[in-house]
Amino acid sequence: MPQIQRSYDGARQSLAAWLAAHPEERAEFLGGLSAEEALALKHDWRFWARPSQMVPVGDGWDTWALIGGRGSGKTRPSAEYVVSEAEKHPGWRICVIAQNPKEYRGVCVEGESGLIACSPPWFPADYQPSKARVVWPNGAMAELFSAETPDALRGPQFHLAWTDEFAKYRHPNAVWDMLMLSLRLGTHPRVVLSTTPRPIPILRRILADSRTVVTGGSTFENAANLAPTFLQQIRRQYEGTRLGRQELFAEILEDTPGALWTLDRLERNRVTLEQVPELTRIVIAIDPSGSVNPETGSECGIVAAGLGKDGHGYILHDWSGHYTPGEWGALACRQYVGLKADRIIGERNYGGQMVAHTIKMAAKDLGVTVAYKDVNASRGKQLRAEPVAALDEQGRVHLVGVFPDLEDQCCTWVAGMKSPDRLDAMVWALTELMVKQPGELRVLNLGDGEPQSEDEQRAEEQARIAEAARVVEEAILRDGWYWPGGRM
Ligand SMILES: Nc1ncnc2c1ncn2[C@@H]1O[C@H](COP(=O)(O)OP(=O)(O)OP(=O)(O)O)[C@@H](O)[C@H]1O
Ligand SMILES: [Mg+2]
């Protein structure tokens, strides 16, 4: 194959990008390629990779940490590395870990940067979903694991591991510990760890280790390979924000001045599932999103929390995300049943009785009875959040595992900033369990569960009618407002 003189000094460019910018050299180089060489080049990652995406040279490392912004090109070099090692080493056992089965399948295996896409035609990857593995023609095999179940890593042994989006795992310490124990084949087992960073202690420890090589970069370094709509959306969401320094520029953030929570404190109070005592009450709190457009709308916060026998609060789940009302209603009702929760609570003043109505419809569709409570956001967010943060400061609130997005909101939100939905939902749940405000809350019974007196029913019906009239009026005045089941 012809040789390219790597005469460029900018260490950020790939050979492909350099050639693209030098038409004369490009014509000469491409003209000198045979058909076989052209095919080989198409699948030669060394040609396409930016230097920060190339596997570190030499033997002096055990972990290659690819730390980059969203879409900066972390998964692709990891998958390319795994495939090239599989090709070189017949029969190798490789461990691939992602946040959950959906991610290992959709991203690490079948994704645009996954193992199948990175395997060349002469070395195709055979994905065997029922066995959760990928097998190559020379017998090399990647076994797929979900970070939700670190115990599954007990037993198997590997030559190489790839752990994608490590900082998003619910139990990163357990995953890392198990992984280290399982890397015991061959003469030099290694790990490639690809992630947008978060300031969690285990990641800081791995990055500080003298046997770790860190490469990577910002989202914008990979702009040429990203859809303009993705760039636009992520810019709109993060540019100019503190979190953007993490999500776009892969900076490990220190504490935000003025934030009510700190990661250190969350970390100190964090527990594992085994440490959760018997729970006396469980609630699911919903902070509805004002829009159903996933590109522009904020998320709908949905958080489950329990009150332990010890009087402490435990954050159990964070299902927040971009949903339509029908979707979040169904999700909340399903989880209510699954968790045997005592109550769903929803913020009232955002859309009048919108949450109550949505939950009622969802409960009816699923054929379940749900106890629902409206909470009234009459007090400012700061005032509501403060007592909950104070409980956390006293060590009385515990995250059960890691909740990356919720924790980011807790540790970067400062009063006066745009409303963070997950944090709001968590504050509602803990307020309900631990800081009740008499007179602020109102209970509605949805479905045909808890009995109500006739007077209560009548009063509630009247309140509902008055509220509905008010909501309709508001909705008509507000362009683009929605109502469960259809736009108004
Ligand atoms: N050097 C490169 N040359 C060409 N395409 C690249 C390069 N690096 C990454 N890409 C492409 O850019 C896109 C994003 O890359 P990748 O999936 O690796 O990003 P990521 O950082 O893992 O993204 P996310 O944050 O969403 O997980 C993919 O289509 C990938 O194939
Ligand atoms: Mg990725």
CA–centroid distance, 41 to ligand 1, in Å, is 18
Residues 6+ apart with CB under 8 A from 202: 172, 173, 176
Contact by Cβ (8 Å): 165, 103: yes
pLDDT tens digits, one per residue of 138-168:
999 999 999 999 999 999 999 999 999 999 9
How high does pLDDT run on average in the chain?
85
Residues 336 and 470 grouped into a single domain: yes
Residues 349 and 462 grouped into a single domain: yes
User: 244, 273, 308: which is the final residue of a domain?
Assistant: 244
* CB of 216 shorter than 6 A to ligand 1: no
Strand partners, 127: 134
Ligand nearest to the CA of 219: 1
Residues 29 and 90 grouped into a single domain: no
Give me the percent of the chain exceeding a pLDDT of 70: 83
How far apart are alpha carbons 423 and 305 in whole angstroms?
A: 12
User: 215, 244, 273: which is the final residue of a domain?
Assistant: 244
* Least confidently predicted of 53-57, 275-279, 338-342, 434-438: 434-438
Strands 313-318 and 397-399: parallel
Residues 10 and 113 grouped into a single domain: no
* CB of 73 shorter than 6 A to ligand 1: yes
* CB of 76 shorter than 6 A to ligand 1: yes
Residues 1 and 77 grouped into a single domain: no
Query: Which strands form 313-318's sheet, in the order they lie side by side?
Result: 397-399, 313-318, 301-308, 279-287, 343-347, 370-375, 441-446
Residues 37 and 65 grouped into a single domain: no
Q: What pLDDT was estimated at residue 258?
A: 86
Residue 9: which pLDDT band, with cuts at 50, 70 and 90? very low
* CB of 289 shorter than 6 A to ligand 1: no
Task: Looking at the CA of residue 194, tell me the nearest atom of ligand 1.
Answer: 22
Q: What pLDDT was estimated at residue 269?
A: 95
Contact by Cβ (8 Å): 173, 205: no
- Tell me whether residue 185 is in a domain: yes
Residues 151 and 289 grouped into a single domain: no
- Tell me whether residue 472 is in a domain: yes
How far apart are alpha carbons 302 and 370 in whole angstroms?
A: 16
Q: Which domain holds residue 166?
A: 53-244
CATH of the domain at 73: 3.40.50.300
Q: What sections of 348-444 are H helices per DSSP?
A: 354-366, 381-393, 404-412, 421-434
pLDDT at 32 exceeding the cut of 90: no
CATH of the domain at 438: 3.30.420.280
- Tell me whether residue 298 is in a domain: yes
* Least confidently predicted of 13-27, 55-69, 127-141, 260-274: 13-27
- Tell me whether residue 427 is in a domain: yes
Q: Say if pTM beats, i.e. exceeds, 0.85.
A: no
Q: What pLDDT was estimated at residue 449?
A: 45
User: Rounded to whole angstroms, what are the CA distances from 59 to 63, 263, 295?
Assistant: 11, 35, 44
* Helix, strand, coil distribution of the chain in percent, nearest 5: 45, 20, 40
Domain count, the chain: 3
Residues 26 and 110 grouped into a single domain: no
Tokens at 5, concatenated: 């003189």
